[in-house]
Structures are given as C-alpha cells and as structure tokens.
Amino acid sequence: NAGVTQTPKFQVLKTGQSMTLQCAQDMNHNSMYWYRQDPGMGLRLIYYSASEGTTDKGEVPNGYNVSRLNKREFSLRLESAAPSQTSVYFCASRGGAIYEQYFGPGTRLTVT
C-alpha cells in the first residue's frame, strides 16, 4: 500500500498563475482533508470531504477550491496564486469511526 500520495512534491508559481495539487489514497477511506502548514501556525484545515460527493470549508478556505473526484482522489486548486499561499500543503485521509488521519508527504509551494 502506498498510503496517501501527493503530487507534485515541489512547485514554484508566479502570482496569478493557477495550479492543482493532486492527492490519492489507497486505503478505501471515506474522509479526505487538505491542510496547510505555516511557520508558527501549525496545520490549518483548508477543505475536507467527509465522503465521496461532499466537500466542506475548513478554517482557511479563501483562495482555494477542491474536487472529490472519486473515493480515492481529492484535489486542491489555486485559481490565482498569491504570495500568501506560499506554504507546505498536506493531504490526509481517515476511515470510518477511526479518528486518526494518515498524511501524505506534502507539497512545498512557493508563490513569487
């Protein structure tokens, strides 16, 4: 099992460019999450999907959109990147009644 995979690992964007971060899990989990990690801020929830076909906003959703493509895949889109979106992005999944989340290795995004 690969667990949770994320692509790309690194990305540099110019202000105003768009991109999609991809996430996939092979654990048959219902719930998937997108977080960003910034120095001194911990992990903050951007969006989550409690089950296939549903998505909900987290703490910091502005500037982002998500798509739960199927049970395995959950993508995060930046339509017009801003320097404030420079961060490390983590995708996570969780199954059933279990609270523990499984995290991917992260995507380091720099917006110049």
Partner 1 sequence: DQQVKQNSPSLSVQEGRISILNCDYTNSMFDYFLWYKKYPAEGPTFLISISSIKDKNEDGRFTVFLNKSAKHLSLHIVPSQPGDSAVYFCAASGGTGNQFYFGTGTSLTVIP
Contact region for partner 1 (CB under 8 A) — 12-20, 50-58, 63-71, 72-80?
Answer: 50-58
Of 21, 25, 34, 48, the one binding partner 1 (CB under 8 A) is: 48
What's the closest the beta carbon of residue 87 comes to partner 1, in angstroms? 14
CB neighbourhood size of 42 (10 A)? 9
Is residue 35 near partner 1 by the rule CB under 8 A? yes
CA distances from 10 to 56, 96, 101 (A): 26, 31, 23
Of 11, 43, 52, 55, the one binding partner 1 (CB under 8 A) is: 43
Three-point CA angle 50, 90, 42, nearest 5°: 100
Is residue 19 near partner 1 by the rule CB under 8 A? no
The residues facing 59 across adjacent strands are: none
Q: What DSSP letter does each residue of 66-85 carry, written as one string?
A: EEE-SSSBEEEEESS--GGG
Name the residues that contact partner 1, by CB under 8 A: 4, 31, 33, 35, 40-45, 48, 50, 56, 58-59, 90, 92, 99-106
